[in-house]
A and B are shown apart, each in its own frame.
Chain A
Amino acid sequence: NAGVTQTPKFRILKIGQSMTLQCTQDMNHNYMYWYRQDPGMGLKLIYYSVGAGITDKGEVPNGYNVSRSTTEDFPLRLELAAPSQTSVYFCASSYGFQGGSNQPQHFGDGTRLSIL
Protein backbone atom coordinates (compact mmCIF):
# COMPACT_ATOMS: atom_id res chain seq x y z
CA ASN A 1 0.00 0.00 0.00
CA ALA A 2 1.37 3.41 -1.00
CA GLY A 3 -0.52 5.43 1.66
CA VAL A 4 0.50 9.10 1.51
CA THR A 5 3.14 9.95 -1.10
CA GLN A 6 5.03 13.24 -1.13
CA THR A 7 7.28 14.57 -3.87
CA PRO A 8 9.96 15.76 -4.06
CA LYS A 9 11.84 14.39 -1.03
CA PHE A 10 14.42 17.17 -1.09
CA ARG A 11 14.58 20.58 -2.76
CA ILE A 12 16.76 23.66 -2.60
CA LEU A 13 15.22 26.93 -3.72
CA LYS A 14 16.54 30.42 -4.15
CA ILE A 15 14.82 33.33 -2.41
CA GLY A 16 11.87 34.50 -4.49
CA GLN A 17 11.44 31.29 -6.46
CA SER A 18 8.18 29.40 -6.42
CA MET A 19 7.41 25.70 -6.26
CA THR A 20 4.66 23.19 -5.61
CA LEU A 21 4.96 20.35 -3.11
CA GLN A 22 2.92 17.39 -4.26
CA CYS A 23 0.89 15.09 -2.01
CA THR A 24 -1.34 12.21 -3.04
CA GLN A 25 -3.12 9.52 -1.02
CA ASP A 26 -4.75 6.27 -2.08
CA MET A 27 -6.81 5.56 1.04
CA ASN A 28 -9.91 7.47 -0.08
CA HIS A 29 -9.55 9.80 2.91
CA ASN A 30 -11.68 12.93 2.81
CA TYR A 31 -9.43 14.98 5.09
CA MET A 32 -5.93 16.10 4.11
CA TYR A 33 -3.43 18.31 5.92
CA TRP A 34 -0.17 20.16 5.41
CA TYR A 35 2.24 20.70 8.30
CA ARG A 36 5.67 22.18 8.65
CA GLN A 37 8.20 20.92 11.18
CA ASP A 38 11.15 23.07 12.13
CA PRO A 39 14.28 21.42 13.60
CA GLY A 40 13.60 19.78 16.96
CA MET A 41 10.02 21.01 17.03
CA GLY A 42 6.52 19.64 16.71
CA LEU A 43 4.11 20.10 13.83
CA LYS A 44 2.45 23.36 12.84
CA LEU A 45 -0.66 23.17 10.67
CA ILE A 46 -0.46 25.22 7.48
CA TYR A 47 -3.69 24.33 5.66
CA TYR A 48 -6.19 21.52 5.69
CA SER A 49 -9.05 20.27 3.56
CA VAL A 50 -12.16 18.35 4.55
CA GLY A 51 -12.99 17.35 0.99
CA ALA A 52 -12.52 18.17 -2.66
CA GLY A 53 -13.10 21.87 -3.28
CA ILE A 54 -12.86 22.86 0.40
CA THR A 55 -9.77 24.26 2.11
CA ASP A 56 -9.19 26.02 5.44
CA LYS A 57 -6.29 27.91 7.00
CA GLY A 58 -4.34 26.41 9.86
CA GLU A 59 -2.00 28.11 12.32
CA VAL A 60 0.67 29.33 9.85
CA PRO A 61 -0.89 29.84 6.37
CA ASN A 62 0.96 33.01 5.32
CA GLY A 63 3.17 32.51 2.27
CA TYR A 64 1.40 29.33 1.17
CA ASN A 65 -1.54 28.36 -1.00
CA VAL A 66 -3.39 25.10 -1.49
CA SER A 67 -6.02 23.61 -3.75
CA ARG A 68 -8.05 20.40 -3.59
CA SER A 69 -9.52 19.52 -6.95
CA THR A 70 -9.63 15.77 -6.29
CA THR A 71 -9.97 13.53 -3.23
CA GLU A 72 -6.51 12.09 -3.83
CA ASP A 73 -4.36 15.20 -4.34
CA PHE A 74 -3.57 18.18 -2.10
CA PRO A 75 -0.68 20.26 -3.49
CA LEU A 76 0.98 23.03 -1.45
CA ARG A 77 2.34 26.04 -3.31
CA LEU A 78 5.01 28.48 -2.21
CA GLU A 79 4.78 31.60 -4.38
CA LEU A 80 7.75 33.69 -3.23
CA ALA A 81 10.11 31.52 -1.24
CA ALA A 82 11.68 33.10 1.85
CA PRO A 83 14.42 31.75 4.16
CA SER A 84 11.83 31.47 6.97
CA GLN A 85 10.11 28.77 4.92
CA THR A 86 13.11 26.45 5.24
CA SER A 87 11.58 23.44 6.97
CA VAL A 88 10.39 19.88 6.57
CA TYR A 89 6.88 19.71 5.15
CA PHE A 90 4.55 16.82 5.94
CA CYS A 91 1.31 15.93 4.26
CA ALA A 92 -1.23 13.78 6.08
CA SER A 93 -4.68 12.34 5.47
CA SER A 94 -7.45 10.85 7.57
CA TYR A 95 -11.10 9.87 7.64
CA GLY A 96 -11.64 13.13 9.46
CA PHE A 97 -14.20 13.85 12.13
CA GLN A 98 -16.18 10.68 12.76
CA GLY A 99 -17.90 9.30 15.83
CA GLY A 100 -17.34 12.55 17.70
CA SER A 101 -13.57 12.69 17.33
CA ASN A 102 -10.83 13.26 14.80
CA GLN A 103 -9.62 9.99 13.32
CA PRO A 104 -5.88 9.14 13.24
CA GLN A 105 -3.76 10.80 10.60
CA HIS A 106 -1.50 8.99 8.16
CA PHE A 107 1.63 10.90 7.22
CA GLY A 108 3.94 10.95 4.22
CA ASP A 109 7.71 10.87 4.68
CA GLY A 110 8.10 14.60 4.19
CA THR A 111 9.73 17.07 1.82
CA ARG A 112 12.92 18.69 3.07
CA LEU A 113 13.03 22.22 1.71
CA SER A 114 15.93 24.66 1.99
CA ILE A 115 15.69 28.24 0.80
CA LEU A 116 18.95 30.05 0.28
Chain B
Amino acid sequence: TQLLKQSPQFLSIQEGENLTVYCNSSSVFSSLQWYRQEPGEGPVLLVTVVTGGEVKKLKRLTFQFGDARKDSSLHITAAQPGDTGLYLCAGDGDTGRRALTFGSGTRLQVQP
Protein backbone atom coordinates (compact mmCIF):
# COMPACT_ATOMS: atom_id res chain seq x y z
CA THR B 1 0.00 0.00 0.00
CA GLN B 2 1.34 3.39 -0.96
CA LEU B 3 1.03 5.99 1.80
CA LEU B 4 1.21 9.76 1.61
CA LYS B 5 2.06 11.68 4.77
CA GLN B 6 1.30 15.37 4.96
CA SER B 7 2.82 17.82 7.40
CA PRO B 8 1.98 19.78 9.32
CA GLN B 9 -1.49 18.48 10.14
CA PHE B 10 -2.68 21.90 11.31
CA LEU B 11 -1.38 25.38 10.68
CA SER B 12 -2.75 28.66 11.98
CA ILE B 13 -1.04 31.81 10.75
CA GLN B 14 -1.61 35.53 10.37
CA GLU B 15 -2.51 37.17 7.10
CA GLY B 16 0.61 38.08 5.14
CA GLU B 17 2.80 35.25 6.44
CA ASN B 18 4.42 32.62 4.23
CA LEU B 19 4.01 28.88 4.74
CA THR B 20 5.03 25.53 3.28
CA VAL B 21 3.08 22.27 3.37
CA TYR B 22 4.78 18.95 2.71
CA CYS B 23 3.62 15.69 1.18
CA ASN B 24 5.98 12.75 1.60
CA SER B 25 6.07 9.08 0.70
CA SER B 26 8.52 6.20 0.50
CA SER B 27 6.94 5.24 -2.84
CA VAL B 28 7.46 6.72 -6.27
CA PHE B 29 4.49 8.42 -7.91
CA SER B 30 4.08 8.98 -11.63
CA SER B 31 2.23 12.21 -10.87
CA LEU B 32 0.85 14.08 -7.90
CA GLN B 33 -2.21 16.27 -7.56
CA TRP B 34 -2.98 18.98 -5.00
CA TYR B 35 -6.55 19.76 -3.98
CA ARG B 36 -8.09 22.39 -1.67
CA GLN B 37 -11.27 21.67 0.24
CA GLU B 38 -13.36 24.40 1.84
CA PRO B 39 -15.83 23.67 4.65
CA GLY B 40 -19.02 22.02 3.43
CA GLU B 41 -17.67 21.38 -0.05
CA GLY B 42 -15.80 18.72 -1.96
CA PRO B 43 -12.09 19.02 -2.84
CA VAL B 44 -11.18 21.08 -5.89
CA LEU B 45 -8.06 20.46 -7.97
CA LEU B 46 -5.34 23.11 -7.74
CA VAL B 47 -2.55 21.58 -9.82
CA THR B 48 -1.01 18.38 -11.17
CA VAL B 49 2.77 17.87 -11.19
CA VAL B 50 4.18 15.15 -13.39
CA THR B 51 7.93 15.54 -13.92
CA GLY B 52 10.54 15.08 -11.17
CA GLY B 53 11.81 18.51 -10.11
CA GLU B 54 8.86 20.27 -11.72
CA VAL B 55 7.79 23.63 -10.28
CA LYS B 56 4.36 25.10 -11.00
CA LYS B 57 3.02 28.48 -9.89
CA LEU B 58 -0.59 29.44 -9.38
CA LYS B 59 -0.64 33.11 -8.34
CA ARG B 60 0.76 33.08 -4.76
CA LEU B 61 0.95 29.26 -4.62
CA THR B 62 4.11 27.42 -5.71
CA PHE B 63 4.07 23.64 -6.11
CA GLN B 64 7.17 21.49 -6.41
CA PHE B 65 7.55 17.79 -7.23
CA GLY B 66 10.65 16.15 -5.78
CA ASP B 67 13.39 14.96 -8.11
CA ALA B 68 12.74 11.35 -7.11
CA ARG B 69 8.96 11.82 -7.42
CA LYS B 70 8.43 10.68 -3.82
CA ASP B 71 7.56 14.03 -2.30
CA SER B 72 6.00 17.38 -3.05
CA SER B 73 5.60 20.75 -1.41
CA LEU B 74 3.16 23.62 -1.57
CA HIS B 75 4.41 27.09 -0.67
CA ILE B 76 2.01 29.98 -0.14
CA THR B 77 3.37 33.51 -0.20
CA ALA B 78 1.60 36.28 1.74
CA ALA B 79 -1.28 34.09 2.87
CA GLN B 80 -4.78 35.54 2.83
CA PRO B 81 -7.93 34.51 4.72
CA GLY B 82 -9.29 33.14 1.44
CA ASP B 83 -6.50 30.51 1.51
CA THR B 84 -8.12 28.91 4.56
CA GLY B 85 -9.05 25.29 3.95
CA LEU B 86 -7.89 21.68 3.91
CA TYR B 87 -5.05 20.98 1.48
CA LEU B 88 -4.83 17.44 0.18
CA CYS B 89 -2.16 15.81 -1.92
CA ALA B 90 -3.02 12.75 -4.00
CA GLY B 91 -0.52 10.44 -5.64
CA ASP B 92 -0.78 8.39 -8.78
CA GLY B 93 1.25 5.24 -8.19
CA ASP B 94 3.54 3.51 -10.62
CA THR B 95 1.63 0.27 -10.06
CA GLY B 96 -1.00 1.31 -12.57
CA ARG B 97 -3.66 1.25 -9.88
CA ARG B 98 -6.68 2.95 -11.28
CA ALA B 99 -7.29 5.22 -8.31
CA LEU B 100 -5.40 7.96 -6.48
CA THR B 101 -3.94 7.66 -2.99
CA PHE B 102 -4.87 10.68 -0.87
CA GLY B 103 -2.80 12.10 1.95
CA SER B 104 -4.27 12.89 5.36
CA GLY B 105 -4.42 16.61 4.66
CA THR B 106 -3.13 19.87 6.13
CA ARG B 107 -5.73 22.15 7.65
CA LEU B 108 -4.75 25.79 7.18
CA GLN B 109 -6.35 28.73 8.93
CA VAL B 110 -5.31 32.25 8.00
CA GLN B 111 -6.31 34.86 10.56
CA PRO B 112 -7.08 38.38 9.29
**A interface residues, Cβ below 8 angstroms from B:** 4, 31, 33, 35, 40-45, 48, 50, 56, 58-59, 90, 92, 96-97, 100-102, 104-110
Contact = CB atoms under 8 A, between A and B. Distances in A.
A105 B98 CA distance: 12
Most B CB contacts (10 A, CB to CB) among A42, A108, A110 go to A42
B24 interface: no
A42 B21 CA distance: 15
A92 B104 contact: no
25 contacts: A33-B99, A40-B107, A41-B104, A43-B43, A43-B88, A43-B102, A44-B102, A48-B98, A56-B98, A56-B99, A90-B42, A90-B43, A100-B30, A101-B31, A101-B50, A101-B92, A105-B45, A105-B100, A107-B42, A107-B43, A107-B44, A108-B42, A109-B42, A110-B41, A110-B42
A43 B34 CA distance: 13
Contacts of B100: 102, 105
Nearest to B41: A109
A83 to B, nearest CB: 22
A102 B98 contact: yes
Contacts of B31: 101-102
B42 A92 contact: yes
Contacts of A50: 98
B40 interface: yes
A105 B88 CA distance: 12
B98 A31 contact: yes
Nearest to A35: B102
5 closest cross-chain pairs (CB), A and B? A107-B42, A101-B31, A42-B104, A43-B102, A104-B45
A95 to B, nearest CB: 12
Contacts of A44: 102
Nearest to B31: A101
